[in-house]
Chains A and B, each alone.
Chain A
Amino acid sequence: DGGITQSPKYLFRKEGQNVTLSCEQNLNHDAMYWYRQDPGQGLRLIYYSQIVNDFQKGDIAEGYSVSREKKESFPLTVTSAQKNPTAFYLCASRHSSYNSPLHFGNGTRLTVT
């Protein structure tokens, strides 16, 4: 079955530590995205990548970093510079064809204390 896998489902970290969230897809999609969901605020775009070795900042990129070394993988690092890292993080991908919808993973809930 094709899909997007995010791991782990729950993640706990101490303040001041960097943490990397995994996202792997076997849909052969070119584009991948990271969103953050906070209560009542919908989904906000952190970073996206249209092709391997290239990525762009979204609306709320500060305190985050990404890499896209392989088509299948788009890990997100939440750095200690991110002021409010506790959130639900969603990875998505889509085919590059016109108007193809986003496919989402099941998310990672990160709690930083």
Chain B
Amino acid sequence: DQQVKQNSPSLSVQEGRISILNCDYTNSMFDYFLWYKKYPAEGPTFLISISSIKDKNEDGRFTVFLNKSAKHLSLHIVPSQPGDSAVYFCAASVVNNNAGNMLTFGGGTRLMVKP
């Protein structure tokens, strides 16, 4: 039973346009959410996060929106650049204030930004 789902395995966007990556979760106990970006044959790198006490967090071209009632979050990239082409993973955790805050990952969405 996947607690974190990314229903779109791939997304293609034109350079300069907005990319919207979606993520749904089922566990209402999740209270911290992260997005990671992964290039082929490399480890994921942390992109942006959001706590459940917020509904939006912005960092440069990247904005994450959280809709707790819908158990849905999304990552917006504006404007999209060819270098953004990668696999994006959504992850969620229940914060318990110790080092064992395990992340549950979605299956990933491959973003392709066309020049």
Give chain A's interface residues, CB within 8 Å of chain B: 4, 6, 9, 30-31, 33, 35, 40-45, 48, 50-51, 56, 58, 90, 92, 94, 96, 98-99, 101-107, 109
> Which residues on B sit within 8 Å (CB–CB) of A4?
43
Number of A-B contacts (CB under 8 A): 68
> Which residues on B sit within 8 Å (CB–CB) of A44?
105
> Which residues on A sit within 8 Å (CB–CB) of B108?
40, 42
* A-contacting 9-mer, from B44-52, B60-68, B74-82: B44-52
- Tell me if B46 and A98 are in contact (CB < 8 A): no
- Tell me if A99 and B41 are in contact (CB < 8 A): no
What is the chain A residue whose CB lies nearest that of B43?
A104
For this complex, 12 residue pairs linking A to B, each with C-beta atoms less than 8 Å apart, are A30-B99, A33-B102, A40-B9, A42-B4, A42-B89, A50-B99, A50-B100, A92-B43, A94-B99, A99-B49, A106-B43, A109-B41
Interface of B, helix, strand, loop or mixed by DSSP: loop
Q: How many residues of B contact A (CB 8 A)?
A: 27
What is the chain B residue whose CB lies nearest that of A92?
B43
C-alpha gap A10/B98 in the complex (Å): 33
C-alpha gap A109/B41 in the complex (Å): 8
Asked whether any CB of chain A lies closer than 8 Å to the CB of B28, the reply is no
- Tell me if A42 and B43 are in contact (CB < 8 A): no
> Which residues on B sit within 8 Å (CB–CB) of A6?
43
- Tell me if A43 and B89 are in contact (CB < 8 A): yes
